[in-house]
Structure 1
Amino acid sequence: MPASWAPYVKLARLDRPVGWRLLLAPCLSSTCLAAINHAEKPHFGLMALFAIGSIAMRGAGSTLNDFIDRDIDAKVERTRDRPLASGQVTPRAVLLFLLAQCLIGLCVLLSLNTYSIVLGFVSLLPVAVYPFMKRITSWPQAVLGLAFSWGALIGWSAVAGELAAPAFWLYASSILWTIGYDTIYAVMDKKYDVEAGVKSTALLFGEHLVPCVALLYFGAALFAEIALLTAGAGVVAHLGMVAFAAHLVWQLRRVDLNDEAMALKLFRSNGTAGFLLVAGLLAENALFYFV
């Protein structure tokens, strides 16, 4: 692509696809789970829409975060080369790019049923407040969980036109999972966050980070299992859940509070972890309907 596009690719984090994968996984899991619950065939059209929407809205969220944090980013070694902090793009250009991404997300949202459209607009609240949370609370990862997990609600409502208990259990699971993997990610930023005067669960948990993340991951696996049981999912879906839980255990065995490279590797691996659950649910959905 043209060199002039590079700053916008970085603003939207298109060069780091793990972000939109983490946003997409709850959407797909919930869509498949709702289809299983309602004995419907896989909704591949909805899944494609959610993929487009996840890429657009993850990009919009990252762009908004960079706009709000531009002064902090300029002071932190790891982020001072970001396009806005380094002066590669102007604030006005960033806002226009943000608007374009939001319009793509809006088009996807308006393709859904009325219930889901309203639910989608409600999601803007945690998305809007998240960039400010690191300044006022040690739990910004929890607010990120509320925002990044919203697809667990949207996916179900897009199929069913309403919400039910399995969607809420899946949402709770995704929130805990998000807090866990973003805490691991925050291990890389501990010294920079102290310098910048911002907060995180990695700093809050300190030397107890591994057992705390273990509790979060245990809750994520437990709530996901409850979601599957209450939706009437079968053996294949549960195998996907087991694979998801096993991946979380694999991560916990490798967390090192002093190894930033490993923290990044483990964080990125969650792009795979989420799709293990998706794969089990999609296979169950297909088998349930077609076999």
Structure 2
Amino acid sequence: MTATLKFPLYLQLIRWDKPVGTLLLLWPTLAALWIAAEGFPGWHLLGVYVLGTFLMRSAGCAVNDVADRDFDRHVQRTAARPVTTGAVSVREALAVGAALALLAFALVLTTNTATILWSFVALAVAIVYPFTKRFFSMPQAVLGVAFSFGIPMAFASVQGQVPALAWWLLLGNLFWVVAYDTEYAMVDRDDDIRIGIRTSALTFGRFDVAAVMLLYGAYLVVWGVIGWQLGLGWPYALGLLAALAQVAWHYTLIHRREREGCFRAFRLNHWVGFAVFAGVVLGYAVRG
């Protein structure tokens, strides 16, 4: 089958029809970009990070599917993925992932030296993450670092350095990533027990719902304190309140641990990130 005929399979490989992952990466990265620039960062950096986020998330999906292909065939939700079924070969998937990563790196090259150097760390974390499910009881924490690394890179692009503020933002965002990816892991709990994958949902056990709520709370507290210190005022407070209201709603979706409710909570998480991002943008707009 030619590459042209396989193109729809490649789109399936990179989750073209499932943009949630890209949005979960995008909102905290753009929020950090606004904070680093103390307002609108300019069209060049905005374009670099919007397109770069899409490219790296897509590349990550290809690598993840290769790493998990032997596990995915035993999980109802992932059994039809193109690498798992053999519709796309391992070599093809890696080639697609490498091409997308190279395109993202070409965008990074238009920034500065600090961003280029940090991009190698980000790539290393993204590659390592899929394999941590085999030996680490909390692989979601590694994903949290990978999904938060746009934050220090955004600061590097704007300021040429990564101050302590960026790492505090990364820490807060890591709490959020572990929260929503635990919801995701709760969907596959039975399958993961059967095939021996380690996840935060299994590690937290019967305290999984409480842990998710505490992680959400830690995220909002860390980002809330930072916003208060930056003087982002009432618009940012409204954004946090909107995020908090969604978190409360998520509790109603996951507290019974039903697959459909947990998966719905995960899929809608990008609105939590958007609420916080909107608060940042409006906060700087009002502050002038």
With structure 2 as the length reference, what TM-score do the two structures score?
0.93
Q: CA deviation at 1:143?
A: 0.4
Q: What does residue 221 of structure 1 align with?
A: 220
Evaluate the alpha carbon distance shift between residue 3 and residue 262 of structure 1 in structure 2; reply closer, same or farther with a 3 A threshold. farther
Q: What does residue 235 of structure 2 align with?
A: 236
Evaluate the alpha carbon distance shift between residue 258 and residue 247 of structure 1 in structure 2; reply closer, same or farther with a 3 A threshold. closer
Is the contact made by 2:41 and 2:158 (CA closer than 8 Å) also made in structure 1? no
CA distance in 2, matches of 1:67, 1:117: 26
Asked if 1:113 corresponds to 2:147, the answer is no
The count of corresponding residues between Structure 1 and Structure 2 is: 285
Q: After the TM superposition, which parts of structure 1 deviate over 4 Å for at least 4 consecutive aligned residues?
A: none
Q: Of 7, 11, 23, which residue of structure 1 is paired with 2:9?
A: 7
Unaligned 5+ segments in structure 1 are none
Q: What does residue 51 of structure 2 align with?
A: 52
Unaligned 5+ segments in structure 2 are none
Q: What does residue 157 of structure 2 align with?
A: 158
Deviation by residue 1:116-150 (Cα, 9 ceiling, x = unmatched)? 21112111222121111111011010000010011
After the TM superposition, which residues 63-212 of structure 1 pair with which residues of structure 2 at under 5 Å, given as runs?
A: 63-212=62-211
CA distance in 1, matches of 2:156, 2:42: 13
Q: What does residue 16 of structure 1 align with?
A: 18
Q: What does residue 284 of structure 1 align with?
A: 283
One-letter identity of the residue aligned with 1:26:
P
CA distance in 1, matches of 2:226, 2:40: 19
CA distance in 2, matches of 1:169, 1:144: 17
CA distance in 1, matches of 2:285, 2:22: 24
One-letter identity of the residue aligned with 2:198:
K
CA distance in 2, matches of 1:80, 1:31: 37
Q: CA deviation at 1:217?
A: 0.9
One-letter identity of the residue aligned with 1:92:
R
Q: What does residue 246 of structure 1 align with?
A: 245
CA distance in 1, matches of 2:264, 2:161: 37
One-letter identity of the residue aligned with 2:35:
L
Structure 1 residue matching 2:284: 3-state secondary structure: helix
One-letter identity of the residue aligned with 2:37:
A
* Most deviating of 163-172 and 191-200: 163-172
CA distance in 1, matches of 2:282, 2:14: 31
CA distance in 2, matches of 1:285, 1:48: 20
* Most deviating of 75-84 and 216-225: 75-84
Q: What does residue 28 of structure 1 align with?
A: 30
Relative contact order: is structure 1 or structure 2 higher (C-alpha 8 Å, sep ≥ 6)?
A: 1
Q: CA deviation at 1:287?
A: 3.3
CA distance in 2, matches of 1:197, 1:280: 41
* Most deviating of 166-175 and 57-66: 166-175
Evaluate the alpha carbon distance shift between residue 243 and residue 174 of structure 1 in structure 2; reply closer, same or farther with a 3 A threshold. same
One-letter identity of the residue aligned with 1:165:
A
Is the contact made by 1:33 and 1:233 (CA closer than 8 Å) also made in structure 2? no
Q: CA deviation at 1:41?
A: 4.1
CA distance in 1, matches of 2:35, 2:268: 23
Q: CA deviation at 1:214?
A: 1.3
Evaluate the alpha carbon distance shift between residue 232 and residue 165 of structure 1 in structure 2; reply closer, same or farther with a 3 A threshold. farther
Is the contact made by 1:166 and 1:226 (CA closer than 8 Å) also made in structure 2? no
Structure 1 residue matching 2:85: 3-state secondary structure: coil
* Most deviating of 67-76 and 213-222: 67-76
Q: What does residue 258 of structure 1 align with?
A: 257
Alignment RMSD (CA, Å):
1.6
One-letter identity of the residue aligned with 2:156:
S
With structure 1 as the length reference, what TM-score do the two structures score?
0.92
One-letter identity of the residue aligned with 1:9:
L
